[in-house]
Amino acid sequence: VEDTRRQQPNVQRMELLGATVAPVEAGSGTLKDATSEAIRDWVTNVGRTHYIIGSVVGPGAVPAIVRDLQRVIGDEARAALLEREGRLPDRVVACVGGGSNAMGIFAAFVEDEGVELVGVEAGGDGLDTPRHGAPLTLGHRAGILHGSMSAIMQDADGQVVEAHSISAGLDYPGAGPEHAWLRDSGRATYVGVTDEDALRAFGTVTRLEGIIPALETAHAFHHVLEVPSDSTLDLVCLSGRGDKDLAEVLAKLRAEAA
């Protein structure tokens, strides 16, 4: 329900393409709740339904299938960089909610040991508050969500707690299990960027590049633009365009100006 509001243009596109979009009332009406409801529908109608998920979360096989399909972007970006720059990047940076775009672009560089992999999670109101979506960054202990074990936001009993992010795609209390493995093995690092910083980066990239990035991607841009680094060549995965976020962003900016 909440995401059909803040991602209204995506809902409109899906409906134009002939899809039926069923809002989910449960929980906070965001990504976790929609994923749960999709799984319930799938197991109920499994004889005549295919479960299609865009993120690297879910029961076994699903995260690996999504990673392998998403890595087209990584393979193409790697080839393009070698062709145009004659070298690999120092860093590959991507936003992480469930983590599909990040896993897709990381997958092509995991074997390149000199390339740093950085996942940017939702810092929300701040990593020192409970309102964020950064279980990897904060080193939350492992738990089971949507059929796989990974870092999740949970209370002492193991109840999954609600995440928060200005961006719908990062508003998720878990992350794909392979991200947890990349973190634990030291191959990738994860950082958090707040709502406020992401909003600023959204405007900056739009003005500098004429590219309106998705609010999700704006988190990654903030990290690349504002956090000092020795890197001389960064590869940022532009996970989506921000047209879908315009109404939401403009409303926020108006509210701040008032």
Partner 1 sequence: VSTADATVAGAERIAAAFAGSGKSAALMPYLMGGFPTSRAPGGSAWPTPTAARTSSSSACPYSDPLADGPVVAAAGARRLRAGSTLDGVLGVCETLAPRLPVVLMCYANLIYARGTERFLDALALGRRLGPDRAGPAARGGRGGRRRGRAGRASRSSARGADHAARAPGAHRRPRPRLRLHRLAHGTTGERAALADTFAETVARARAATAVPVALGFGIATPEHAAQAAAAGADGVIVGSRLVRAAAEAGDAPTAVRELVAGLADALRR
Picking from 204, 146, 155, 195, the residue whose alpha carbon sits closest to that of residue 174 is 146
Q: How far is the CB of 51 from partner 1 (least distance, A)?
A: 9
CB 56 within 8 A of CB 35: no
Q: How far is the CB of 164 from partner 1 (least distance, A)?
A: 15
Residue 164 or 219 having the CB closest to partner 1:
164
In which residue are the tokens 């393409």 written? 17
Q: How far is the CB of 152 from partner 1 (least distance, A)?
A: 8
Q: How far is the CB of 149 from partner 1 (least distance, A)?
A: 4
Residue 23 or 147 having the CB closest to partner 1:
147
Q: How far is the CB of 57 from partner 1 (least distance, A)?
A: 10
Token representation of residue 225: 């633009």
Question: Cα–Cα distance between 152 and 176 in angstroms, integer?
Answer: 10
Residue 39 or 81 having the CB closest to partner 1:
39
Region for residue 235 given its phi and psi (left: phi exceeds 0; alpha: psi -120 to 50; beta: otherwise): beta
Q: 14: burial class by Cβ within 10 Å (0-12, 13-18, 19+)?
A: middle
CB 242 within 8 A of CB 213: yes
Binding site for partner 1 (CB under 8 A): 26-27, 32, 36, 39-40, 42-47, 58-60, 141-149, 152, 154, 156-161, 177
Residue 26 or 251 having the CB closest to partner 1:
26
Question: Cα–Cα distance between 192 and 179 in angstroms, integer?
Answer: 14
Token representation of residue 144: 């089971």
Residue 45 or 229 having the CB closest to partner 1:
45
Picking from 153, 120, 136, 130, the residue whose alpha carbon sits closest to that of residue 31 is 153
Residue 133 or 213 having the CB closest to partner 1:
133
Q: 152: burial class by Cβ within 10 Å (0-12, 13-18, 19+)?
A: buried
Question: Cα–Cα distance between 202 and 194 in angstroms, integer?
Answer: 12
Picking from 180, 191, 249, 246, the residue whose alpha carbon sits closest to that of residue 224 is 191
Q: How far is the CB of 144 from partner 1 (least distance, A)?
A: 4
Q: How far is the CB of 2 from partner 1 (least distance, A)?
A: 16
Residue 141 or 207 having the CB closest to partner 1:
141
